[in-house]
């Protein structure tokens, strides 16, 4: 199957700092990528849909100014958590959509905000 990478896999930061997470589709072009958040023993919660060359679409309740998403190319989307606070600590997972429907997920990024 197609491969999606995420970097970093784990990050620890101080409260108030910003953290950038990269999501790359390695062997296919993805016009659409998605960002999810997952709490322990829970399902995936869609945060936003990222389309190459256009603004991301955020789900209700997700602060677009806190979670900045950029989809600059067909293989790269980034999520920046700005002014991170301990409540932002979570497991963040991206996915990339390969034509026509299949979503391939990255390995996830564990964010811990102290």
Question: Residues interacting with other proteins, by CB under 8 A?
Answer: 1, 4, 6, 32, 34, 41-44, 46, 49, 57, 91, 93, 95, 97, 100-108, 110
C-beta of 91: minimal distance to other proteins in Å? 8
Contact 82, 68 (CB under 8 A): yes
Cβ nearer to other proteins, comparing 16 with 107? 107
Residue 13's nearest CA partner among 90, 78, 71, 77 is 90
C-beta of 18: minimal distance to other proteins in Å? 23
Instruction: Report the DSSP pairing between strands 4-7 and 19-25.
Output: antiparallel
């Amino acid at each position: 199957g197609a491969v999606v990478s995420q970097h970093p896999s784990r990050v620890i930061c101080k409260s108030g700092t910003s953290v950038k997470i990269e999501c790359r589709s390695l062997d296919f072009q993805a016009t659409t990528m998605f960002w999810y958040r997952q709490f322990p023993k829970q399902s995936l919660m869609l945060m936003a849909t990222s389309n190459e060359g256009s603004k991301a679409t955020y789900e209700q309740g997700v602060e677009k100014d806190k979670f900045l998403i950029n989809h600059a190319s067909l293989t790269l989307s980034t999520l920046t958590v700005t002014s991170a606070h301990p409540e932002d600590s979570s497991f963040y997972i991206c996915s990339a959509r390969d034509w026509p429907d299949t979503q391939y997920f990255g390995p996830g990024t564990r964010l811990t905000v102290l």
